[in-house]
């Protein structure tokens, strides 16, 4: 890592013009660094490394750090559909710019959600995960908020969770009206679609399904209701994997030979057509398919 890279990293991922000057890097040198690609001019007075995540660069260009679902997503959490870009802005800030064009003023069509704050100290790229999750609870539908928290509590690809369940339960106490529901988190959930299904089933139908259940000879299934009603939900990336499609159909057939009834729902159904999903589940229960 070059001295310049180290300096920008220490300062939080972006560096101001006056900070470059303070370290002996003058106007001509800055111009040369930009032309060489060593640094990127994000907006007037601010520069970053070319390796900076595009979503973080977009937020800085708007005028603040990532927050809410965007800050959580930067750290690996599930991102709700059509969430937009969430940016924390100081109340006295002006000259907010477009995420992709620092020369143009921010427009409603840019789908930026501004979270106005009064804090004196604001992170440069993204606010901390705990503050981000607090904002998620205030900003998002409950089922989406819990899905984001599920992903924050999960262990993925060997990385530790972003926070512990015990710490989350402490944070949930800050929302007295929602505290009981906010404890309905499950870090075993393997996708946002699973989380949304689980919480919608509870909120809309008053039903609890057992999740991530192992069935001998088949493996884990997403949910079981009663003794034999299996529910599988496909993640957003499912359709990009033809091999997964065929493997799951083989599993469905195997489950059927073992006496299970299988319902399978897509990401689109769970997130955008819940009444259809609910009707199918309640219909199967009414028919006794869970017994």
DSSP letters spanning 221-250: EEEEETTTEEEEE--TTGGG-HHHHHHHHH
pLDDT in tens, 212-241: 999 888 889 999 999 999 999 988 765 556
Query: Does residue 129 register a pLDDT over 90?
Result: yes
The predicted structure's pLDDT at residue 256: 87
Q: Looking at beta carbons, which pairs linking 265-272 to residues 24 or more positions away fall under 8 Å?
A: 265/197, 265/231, 265/232, 265/233, 265/234, 266/233, 266/234, 266/238, 266/239, 267/193, 267/233, 267/234, 267/235, 267/236, 267/238, 270/193, 270/196, 270/197, 270/200, 270/233, 271/81, 271/193, 271/196, 272/81
* Domain 191-286, CATH number (from 3.40.960.10, 1.10.10.10, 3.40.50.300, 3.60.10.10): 3.40.960.10
The predicted structure's pLDDT at residue 240: 55
The predicted structure's pLDDT at residue 241: 63
User: Residue 243's pLDDT band (boundaries 50, 70, 90)?
Assistant: low
Specify the DSSP element, H or E, that contains 202.
helix 192-205
The predicted structure's pLDDT at residue 238: 53
Summarize the confidence of residues 259-276 as an average pLDDT: 95
The pTM of the full predicted model, rounded to 2 decimals, is 0.91
User: Residue 290's pLDDT band (boundaries 50, 70, 90)?
Assistant: confident
Domain ranges of the chain: 3-52, 56-181, 191-286
Summarize the confidence of residues 180-197 as an average pLDDT: 95
The predicted structure's pLDDT at residue 122: 75
Q: Is 288 left (phi over 0), alpha (psi -120 to 50) or beta?
A: left
Tell me the percentage of the chain whose pLDDT exceeds 90: 77
The predicted structure's pLDDT at residue 289: 82
The predicted structure's pLDDT at residue 242: 64
**Who's near 211: CB < 8 A, 6+ residues apart?**
186, 188, 189, 194, 198, 222, 223
The predicted structure's pLDDT at residue 91: 85
The predicted structure's pLDDT at residue 180: 94
pLDDT in tens, 114-125: 999 987 777 889
Query: Does residue 244 register a pLDDT over 80?
Result: no
| Structure tokens, 144 | 């989406």
Specify the DSSP element, H or E, that contains 120.
none
């Amino acid at each position: 890592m070059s001295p310049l890279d180290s300096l920008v990293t220490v300062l939080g991922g972006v560096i101001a013009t006056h900070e470059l000057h303070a370290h002996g890097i003058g106007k001509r040198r800055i111009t040369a660094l930009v032309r060489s690609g060593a640094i990127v001019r994000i907006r007037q007075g601010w520069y970053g490394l070319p390796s900076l995540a595009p979503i973080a660069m977009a937020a800085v260009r708007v005028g603040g750090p990532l927050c809410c679902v965007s800050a959580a997503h930067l750290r690996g959490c599930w991102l709700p559909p059509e969430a937009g870009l969430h940016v924390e802005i100081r109340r006295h800030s002006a000259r907010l710019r477009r995420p992709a064009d620092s020369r143009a003023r921010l427009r409603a069509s840019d789908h930026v959600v501004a979270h106005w704050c009064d804090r004196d100290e604001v992170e440069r790229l993204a606010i901390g995960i705990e503050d981000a999750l607090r904002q998620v609870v205030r900003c998002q539908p409950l089922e989406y908020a819990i899905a984001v928290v599920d992903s924050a509590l999960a262990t993925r690809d060997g990385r530790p969770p972003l926070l512990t369940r015990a710490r989350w339960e402490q944070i949930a106490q800050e929302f007295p009206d929602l505290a009981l529901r906010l404890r309905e988190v499950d870090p075993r959930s393997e996708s946002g679609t699973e989380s949304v299904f689980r919480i919608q089933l509870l909120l809309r139908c008053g039903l609890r399904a057992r999740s991530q259940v192992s069935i001998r000879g088949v493996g884990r299934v997403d949910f079981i209701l009663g003794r034999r009603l299996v529910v599988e939900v496909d993640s957003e990336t499912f359709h990009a994997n033809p091999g997964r499609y065929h493997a799951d159909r083989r599993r469905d057939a195997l489950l059927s030979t073992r006496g299970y009834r299988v319902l399978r729902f897509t990401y689109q159904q769970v997130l955008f057509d819940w009444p259809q999903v609910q009707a199918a589940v309640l219909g199967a229960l009414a028919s006794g398919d869970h017994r």
